[in-house]
Each structure stands twice: as C-alpha cells, then as structure tokens.
C-alpha cells in the first residue's frame, strides 16, 4: 500500500511563504492498494494538484471517500479535472446528512449550482456514481476493503480504515476525543461517562493493530480548552490513542491554518519528547509525503 498527502491543512487553505514547507492546501489523501486501486480520502483544495497528476494516467477510475461535508473537505471536488473527461469513472462515498435529509449526492449538486459555480453537474462527462454509506458498511475496492466508523464532530464524520493483504491504515478526517460535558458533582456525570467509555472502547477496537494511523492533530493541549466542541483533536490525544491501539506509525495532520511551518515544527518537537520508548513512529504530514509498506 502507498499513501500520498496532497493537502494537510484544516479549516481553510493557507498558501504563502509561512506554509511553504508543509503546504497550505486543505485535506486530501491518495491511497493506492497493492494492485494500484485508487482510493481518495476527502476533496479539499489538495485534490486539485492530485487531479493534475492523474491527467498523465488516463483513464482514471477513482473511489472518493468523503469523511464529512464541511467546506475544507469538499471544496476541491468541482476542480477534480477527471470528472470532466469522458471515459473516466468516479464513485463518491459518504454519510447520510441528518441535517439536510440528503445522501452523499448533495456533495456535488449543492456546489454545482450557478449561484456558486459556472458548470452544472449535468455537464460533467465522467461516469459518476454516489454511494451513501451506513455506519460500519464495508466497501470492496479491488484488492482493498474500506470500512467506516462514526467519529466525534459537529456533523456526521466517518473515519475510514483500509485493509489490503494484511496491511492497514486509518484516516480520521476530523475528530475530537469524547469528553464529559458534566462535572463530577453533577448527577448525570456517571451516565454520560459510561457512554463515552463505550464509544472510546468501540473506536479502540476498530483501530486495533492498524499500521498507519492518520489523525486530526489541530491543537496543542494548552490550546484545546478554548476550542472544546469545535470537533478537532490534539497532538497528545492522538499520540495516546496510537500507543493504546498499537499503531506502528502516527501521522499528524489537519494543521491549524494560522500555524506557520516554524511554529508547527516547534509544536511537533515538543510532542516528540513525550513519545514512549516503545511507542509508534510519529510523523508530521506535509504535502508530497509518501508512505509505502
């Protein structure tokens, strides 16, 4: 399997000299199975440079898995050039949106309206399919299997695990570790904590033994208290998770858009001082990073 990162920023694209080393595009990962099947996770602005690279490999057959439909994870999809070329195929997978009452097909038909974009969905020339996934539903993509689990975010967010010939990886999209909204003195504290413990145990079981764990590491532990409820994780929470479930490698991504390359490296260097001796290898995601195993 091989992973390539095309977009590693969260919330909003942040191009410029202060993000040149790690990249300013929003989330997009390319995964290749052993047999070369193309799996794409999220369609932030990073999917545009991926599209340009794919134009050298026509025809394109892609399975695109959307973790959730916040702008920074879908805004590049109308610029995925293979969608405009006859002979290409794309299958777009994602969750049912309980707010709008729509399946994943809304990811395109909402964006491709003349009020927001100059090209209509009917003008796309590739063969496009949509698959709205149930929680836990498995999708077979050639020699790989992609399974999802529900994570913690203000909108339905699927994390995806890919398994291929005994190898595995997981991508979280956006995820905030579950925390108790009550104080210990409150009568509802124990019941709510029991629910959290069940959810965390379910996630740990889903992730157990994964080779490469790609996690939302937007904030430091000191930044997090003012961001509670925003739906994003911390470096330390991701490290603790990786250690607990026995991941071989943790990749920290979804970088805070206001954090410069220098600031990001400083935060990451501080994290490395807390990696256990028998803990996972910890890597800072950057555009162009490739992991193959």
pLDDT band at 282 (very low <50, low <70, confident <90, very high): very high
Average pLDDT over every residue of 22-44: 98
Our count of domains for the chain comes to 1
| Pick from 149, 120, 156, 285: nearest CA to 217 | 285
- The whole-number pLDDT of residue 14 equals 97
Average pLDDT over every residue of 104-125: 91
- The whole-number pLDDT of residue 78 equals 97
| Pick from 216, 54, 56: nearest CA to 64 | 54
Residue 144 has pLDDT above 90, yes or no: yes
Instruction: Look up residue 164 and give its two tokens.
Output: 């291929």
Average pLDDT over every residue of 160-186: 96
pTM across the whole model: 0.97
What digits encode the pLDDT tens for the residues 215-274? 999 999 999 999 999 999 999 999 999 999 999 999 999 999 999 999 999 999 999 999
- The whole-number pLDDT of residue 100 equals 84
Q: Rounded to an integer, what distance in angstroms lies between the CA atom of residue 44 and that of residue 41? A: 9
Q: Please say whether the dihedral angle defined by the alpha carbons of residues 61, 67, 68 and 74, taken in this order, is positive or negative.
A: negative
Pairing of β 144-150 and β 158-164: antiparallel
- Structural domain range at position 247: 2-292
Instruction: Look up residue 10 and give its two tokens.
Output: 């969260």
pLDDT band at 99 (very low <50, low <70, confident <90, very high): confident
Residue 122 has pLDDT above 90, yes or no: no
Q: Please say whether the dihedral angle defined by the alpha carbons of residues 55, 59, 65 and 66, taken in this order, is positive or negative.
A: positive
Contact 258, 269 (CB under 8 A): no
Contact 158, 68 (CB under 8 A): yes
Query: What CATH number is associated with residue 177?
Result: 3.60.15.10
Helices (H) and strands (E) in the chain, counts: 6, 14
- The whole-number pLDDT of residue 97 equals 87
Q: Please say whether the dihedral angle defined by the alpha carbons of residues 155, 82, 27 and 14, taken in this order, is positive or negative.
A: negative
What digits encode the pLDDT tens for the residues 40-98? 999 999 999 999 999 999 999 999 999 999 999 999 999 999 999 999 999 999 999 88
């Amino acid at each position: 399997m091989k992973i390539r990162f095309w977009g590693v920023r969260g919330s909003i694209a942040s191009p410029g000299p202060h993000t040149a080393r790690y990249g300013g595009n929003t989330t997009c990962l390319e995964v290749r199975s052993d047999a070369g099947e193309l799996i794409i996770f999220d369609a932030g602005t990073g999917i545009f440079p991926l599209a340009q690279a794919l134009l050298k490999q026509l025809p394109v057959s892609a399975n695109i898995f959307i973790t959730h439909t916040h702008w920074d994870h879908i805004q590049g999809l109308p610029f995925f050039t293979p969608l405009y070329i006859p002979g290409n195929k794309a299958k777009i997978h994602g969750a049912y949106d309980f707010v709008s009452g729509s399946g994943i097909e809304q990811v395109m038909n909402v964006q491709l309206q003349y009020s927001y974009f100059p090209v209509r969905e009917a003008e796309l020339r590739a063969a496009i399919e949509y698959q709205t996934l149930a929680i836990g539903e498995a999708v077979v993509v050639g020699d790989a299997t992609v399974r999802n689990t529900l994570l913690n975010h203000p909108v339905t967010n699927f994390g995806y695990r890919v398994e291929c010939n005994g190898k595995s990886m997981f991508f979280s999209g956006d995820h905030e570790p579950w925390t108790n909204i009550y104080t210990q003195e409150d009568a509802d504290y124990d019941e709510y904590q029991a629910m959290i413990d069940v959810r965390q145990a379910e996630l740990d079981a889903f992730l157990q033994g994964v080779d490469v764990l790609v996690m939302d590491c937007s904030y430091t532990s000191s930044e997090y208290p003012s961001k509670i409820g925003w739906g994003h994780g911390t470096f330390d929470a991701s490290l603790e998770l990786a250690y607990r479930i026995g991941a071989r490698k943790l990749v920290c991504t979804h970088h805070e858009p206001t954090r410069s390359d220098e600031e990001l490296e400083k935060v990451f260097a501080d994290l490395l001082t807390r990696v256990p001796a028998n803990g996972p290898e910890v890597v800072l995601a950057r555009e162009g990073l490739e992991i193959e195993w």
